[in-house]
Amino acid sequence: MRILLIGNCQVAGLADCLRVRLGPETTVHSFLAANWQRFDQDKQRSFRGADYVLHHLSRKTVSAVEDMARWSPNSKFVAVPRLIFRGFHPDMVNLKFDGLSFRNEFGPYHSAIAVCAYKMGLSVAQTAPLFATNLFQKLGYFAAYEQSRQELFAEAHLCGLDLAPAFARWQSFGCFMHTVNHPKVIALADLVELIVEKIGLDTIAANNWQFIQDRLVPYPAWATYPDLAHRLGIQSGFQFKKNTIGRLDDTAGIVVGLRDFVAAEFRSFAELPKQDAKFIPEIDIAGYDAAIRATLREMLAEPASKAPAVGGSETVAHPYRGLPGYQFWRKSVSEVDLQDIDPVLGGKFRITRQERIASAGSCFAQHISKALNNCGHTYLTTEPAPPYMTSQEAAANNYGVFSARYANLYTARQLRQLFDRAFGHFVPKDAVWAHADGGFVDAFRPQIKPDRFETIQDVLDDRATHLAAVCKMFEEMDVFI
């Protein structure tokens, strides 16, 4: 079988993943759509006869796909989505000079903030502090993740693919993009998984993405800015990797920090004649100019109370200097448009829909279990209602309220006691109470059964089932709320 891939810089990586999945009996070729017109007709026609032609949905592929459809009418043409995602790198843009992409040591990628700061005449020292929450909020960078996710899903949908499960997996790995248009190999491997399933091809190997060479590693890699990474719940720093194609043995200085990056940008911009430096339309120069000027005014207006330094007469800045904008009421609430206020900060990890979530507590834990179920997460329930009960009876007997039927837990000590009882570390002396109106109740769950238990043994039997379910919950859960 022969497979041909036509598209952007991602097709070589897709071809590698296909070769691993399909084995040596399948021949896989790939080429950049942008190079199609450079091939002579003999070269172009050498690709005909492919069983499948996988192609990106883009203007650059149109000519190649039309020619292939004419020369190879028996081939099956399958559209595949480009993995383009700005959510981690909303500041990244391309620049044009004389109609061509302007490149420096970081390839064709540039910082919109650095571009506009340079045009305003700011210095490197004045520009570097702008890469923080205050300006990101004004420029809409925090909204880029969700917007990019929807755009990515939409292109995949046009190709007949559902990227949502794969995307959830990628999120657990943190930043899954080197740059806006360079995905890491895990994303390409998962996309191939979907393509192979859609076409119905037989595979000889599992999705062992970790054994596949990432062809895009030698190219530039962009930092996920720390204030943005914090919102997304991932770890990142200001680390910008230069283009290393052709210099694999010379790795000194290939990764630089923010100030060195801005300085390198400014040096490259200085080489362009000012009257000829044309910026692509996606950069709203006027909007960036206004946002940067407003941010600079706010930075200058911040109180700079100083105190004598220990051991001398020098002064030091106050402890709030340099903190991200979300730690200031004015920057995060009072001077922010209502629709832009985000009360949720990024965490240290992300919870995927596949991870099993358990909860314990009081009202909050009850409501969050319903919310998690409603939004498609996996809420772990280890003590379900017996099959003979109706839904009304199950609710009356407190089934499905929490992961197990332990009722409200108001304190950490209660939770600790529950754990110790479940695993046999604590056996209370007073465990069953006789009710004044007849029957018996569990001393730790007196209202768990509205019509009470008839005998002490009934209480003990129900408790044994319950504590076994609690053990199972602690052993099987991935996340505990």
pLDDT of residue 342: 74
Q: What is the pLDDT of residue 309?
A: 36
Q: What is the pLDDT of residue 63?
A: 81
Can you read off the two tokens belonging to residue 323?
A: 């903190």
CATH of the domain spanning 2-80+182-209, picked from 3.40.50.2300, 3.40.50.720, 3.40.50.80, 3.40.50.10700: 3.40.50.10700
What string of pLDDT tens digits covers the 481 residues of the chain? Answer: 899 999 999 999 999 999 888 888 889 988 888 887 777 666 666 677 889 999 998 888 888 888 888 888 888 999 999 999 999 999 999 887 766 778 888 888 999 999 999 988 899 999 999 999 999 999 999 999 999 999 999 999 999 999 999 999 898 888 999 999 999 999 999 999 999 999 998 877 666 666 788 889 888 999 999 999 988 888 888 999 998 876 655 555 688 999 999 999 999 888 876 544 455 546 778 889 899 999 988 887 755 443 333 333 333 445 566 677 777 777 777 777 777 777 777 667 778 888 999 999 988 888 888 888 888 899 999 999 998 989 889 989 989 889 999 989 999 999 999 999 999 888 888 888 998 888 999 999 998 998 899 999 999 999 999 999 999 999 999 999 9
Concatenated DSSP letters of 157-190: HHTT---HHHHHHHHTTS--EEETTEE-HHHHHH
pLDDT value of residue 286: 83
Model pTM greater than 0.85?
no
> Closest Cα to residue 183, out of 138, 147, 215, 225?
215
pLDDT at 307 (0 to 100):
33
Contact in structure between 365 and 481 (CB atoms under 8 Å): yes
Give the pLDDT of residue 419. Answer: 94
pLDDT for residue 96: 74
Q: What is the pLDDT of residue 135?
A: 94
Q: Please answer whether residues 284 and 90 qualify as being in contact, where contact means their C-beta atoms are separated by less than 8 angstroms.
A: no
For the chain, the structural domain boundaries read 2-80+182-209, 86-180+222-305+315-348, 356-480
Looking at residue 428, what is its pLDDT? 86
Q: If we measure between CA atoms, which residue out of 240, 237, 244 comes closest to residue 255?
A: 240
Q: Which two tokens stand for residue 108?
A: 């064709």
Q: What is the pLDDT of residue 320?
A: 61
Collect contacts of 443-446 with beta carbons under 8 A, ≥24 apart: 444/406, 444/417, 444/418, 445/405, 445/406, 445/407
Pull the structure tokens for residue 295. Answer: 């941010």
168 conformational bin, left if phi > 0, alpha if psi -120 to 50, beta if neither = alpha
